[in-house]
Amino acid sequence: MKSAAVASALLAILLAGCDQNMEDQPTGRTYSALPPLGGSEMRPPPPGTVAQDDIARTQASQQKPQLTAALLERGQDRFNIYCSPCHGRTGQGNGRIVQRGMPHPTSYHDPRLLAADDQHFFEVITNGYGAMYSYAMRVSPQDRWAIVAYIRALQLSRHGALSDVPDEQKTKLEDGK
């Protein structure tokens, strides 16, 4: 009988701790003051801290790769995945998202974007612009450069002339082969 009384008293003490409402826990905003912990919700990194692969990412962002067929193929692949939902496959700005009511992005064939340098496109992919959000965490710097190369190819394909075609290719075009 004595052990039953001790067990029930112990159970009552343990169950008293379950009275806390787990749904209403105190939370703080990131980096906001949180007095019970004597600091902030999230601690800033120590001075001089470098994120993993940050140096390699920075170097890749600053070094534009050489234009190759493989780079253009990779750019087309990445463009079709990340860019065409809004910009369309041809860069006109008439992708599927736009057809469903989202804002119409500027066509890559607009004179302002034809005159823009490659760094502009790289920065827009990295940081976003207008309604477009940043793709820095989704698309690696090398793939951003590949997308920029493919955007340039789209622009050239729209505004190309027969005089731009190499002589050995002109005869094939003129013969219809």
- How many CB atoms lie under 10 A from the CB of residue 153? 16
Query: Which residues, at least 6 apart from 160, have a Cβ–Cβ distance to it below 8 Å?
Result: none
pLDDT tens-place string over residues 69-128: 999 999 999 999 999 999 999 999 999 998 898 888 999 999 999 999 999 999 999 999
Architecture of domain 54-159: Orthogonal Bundle (1.10)
Predicted pLDDT of residue 80: 97
CA distance readout (Å), 162 to 45, 67, 159, 171: 57, 22, 10, 11
Give domain limits for the chain. Answer: 54-159
Say which amino acid occupies 60: A
Distance between CA atoms of residues 155 and 103, nearest Å: 21
CA atoms within 13 A on the CB side of 148: 24
> Above pLDDT 90, what percent of the chain?
45
CA atoms within 13 A on the CB side of 143: 17
Looking up tokens 């013969």, which residue turns up?
175
Query: Per this entry, what is the length of the chain?
Result: 177
Predicted pLDDT of residue 62: 83
Distance between CA atoms of residues 97 and 159, nearest Å: 26
Predicted pLDDT of residue 34: 56
Predicted pLDDT of residue 39: 59
Q: Is the pTM of this model over 0.85?
A: no
* Cβ atoms of 172 and 166 closer than 8 Å: no
